[in-house]
Amino acid sequence: MSKIVDAKVIVTGPGRNYVTLKLTTADGVVGWGDATLNGRELAVAAYLRDHVCPLLLGRDANRIEDTWQYLYKGAYWRRGPVTMTSIAAVDIALWDILGKVAGLPVYQLLGGAARDGVLAYCHATGEDVPSLLDDVAAHLERGFLAVRAQAAVPGVDKAYGVPPRGEFYEPASGAVPEESRWDTESYLRHAPEVLGAVRERFGFGFHLLHDVHHRLTPIEAGRLGRDLEPHRMFWMEDPVPAEDQSAFRLIREHTTTPIAVGEVFNSIWDCQQLITERLIDYIRTSVSHAGGITHLRRIFALAELYGVRTGSHGAGDLSPVSLAAALHVDLAVPNLGVQEYMGHTPQTAEVFRPSYTLENGYLHPGDAPGLGVEVDEEAAAKFPYDPRYLPVNRRRDGSIHDW
């Protein structure tokens, strides 16, 4: 029995906001979990503080599955990003504790390494095609073997994924959401040209990815997928709003471009139809938004049965604790596809000190016991929470579109 004696929620804003859970056992072992939900951080912090932390005190830290079931079934009100991010944070922290007690990196507890390293994809962006090509070149020079390419779209104000030149991409900003404008026709004309320009310049010797960010109808997505076929995409991500699972059947009828979905999902039930009916190729659920290591493994195991590979979300709004947890899972599962890797800002690195490494396009979680991330609480206290929201997207006529 390894009793949990303390559960503390840390809210910090080193460049962007993160919510971190710290669990401590009677033996003084500390486990860290990520509970960040971009733009809704304090809802998760309150859920943990008010409804979860008090229930954890006195529980056996070794009973990870039991704690997961206790928090999931015990709440009665199931699923949803706030609940599942909270459960994820507890679960990730418990795996961290188990690894530290065992003196083993978490991936060893998950069955050991199934590969030497985890293929990572980076983000290349540009305000126009020449600047995108420069950025792709810079990432290929750094050794990346998989590159996501996003460029500004003519007529679209603040296109998704494109930061002002030289700045780190962070879509959340402002105490009220920023608004952007969207033009489907312009995007559908422009995106195949942009991705074609990337292939024309750099060839086919690396994986090319693109994120549509939930903005098309199924038939539009089918057309885009078909237009992208000559460019041999690794994947087309989130072509339509992800919650409409049967929409993906229509896309499938029109294109062989592989489809990736799942960053906004928070449970296996969100993925069930997509996986079992083979409507997608990559499942992108993240460890911190989909119930932690325990639940992510279950989703990935279901996916394996149907030939669906993994492609975990790894944007900057997932803290280094999440990225580390994802990497331990990635290293151990048989059906890894790729891991998203945006990196974190220098300010974030003042608070979180991960031991994962990136070499020749592959990430590795490292061999420190547990997850291998240290969190500097004094540094965290220096960066106050700063309310920021994800943008709202409007069509030309002013009506709200998916962002």
What amino acid positions are annotated as catalytic residues?
160, 213
Q: Which helix (H) or strand (E) holds 226?
A: helix 218-228
Cα gap 108→299, rounded to integer Å:
19
Kindly state the smallest distance separating residue 315's Cβ from Mg ion, in Å.
7
Cα gap 124→136, rounded to integer Å:
5
Task: Find which of ligand GCO, Mg ion, none residue 317 binds, CB within 5 to 8 Å per kind.
Answer: ligand GCO
Task: Find which of ligand GCO, Mg ion, none residue 315 binds, CB within 5 to 8 Å per kind.
Answer: ligand GCO
**317 contacts Mg ion (rule: CB under 5 A):** no
Kindly state the smallest distance separating residue 194's Cβ from Mg ion, in Å.
17
CA 257 → CA 85, 125, 318, distances in Å? 31, 21, 27
In DSSP terms, 148 is beta-bridged to 123, 209
- For residue 84, which of 124, 16, 136, 36 has the smallest C-alpha distance? 36
Task: Find which of Mg ion, ligand GCO, none residue 340 binds, CB within 5 to 8 Å per kind.
Answer: ligand GCO
Cα gap 257→212, rounded to integer Å:
13
Cα gap 306→172, rounded to integer Å:
35
Cα gap 349→253, rounded to integer Å:
45
- For residue 229, which of 206, 254, 211, 246 has the smallest C-alpha distance? 254
In the complex, the residues that contact ligand GCO under the rule CB under 6 A are 38, 171, 211, 213, 263, 315, 317, 340, 390
Taking contact as CB under 5 A, which single stretch among the options 1-9, 159-167, 208-216, 223-231 is the one that binds Mg ion?
A: 208-216
Kindly state the smallest distance separating residue 314's Cβ from ligand GCO, in Å.
7
Q: Which is nearer to Mg ion, 211 or 330 (CB)?
A: 211
Kindly state the smallest distance separating residue 166's Cβ from ligand GCO, in Å.
18
> Three-state DSSP class for 194?
helix
Taking contact as CB under 5 A, which single stretch among the options 60-68, 164-172, 209-217, 223-231 is the one that binds Mg ion?
A: 209-217
**211 contacts Mg ion (rule: CB under 5 A):** yes
Residue 169 contacts residue 125 (beta carbons within 8 Å): yes
Taking contact as CB under 5 A, which single stretch among the options 5-13, 206-214, 249-257, 383-391 is the one that binds Mg ion?
A: 206-214
Q: Which is nearer to ligand GCO, 114 or 390 (CB)?
A: 390
Kindly state the smallest distance separating residue 3's Cβ from ligand GCO, in Å.
36
Task: Find which of ligand GCO, Mg ion, none residue 393 binds, CB within 5 to 8 Å per kind.
Answer: none
Task: Find which of Mg ion, ligand GCO, none residue 101 binds, CB within 5 to 8 Å per kind.
Answer: none
> Three-state DSSP class for 252?
helix
Q: Fill in the DSSP letter of residue 204.
A: T
Interface with Mg ion by CB under 5 A: which residues? 211
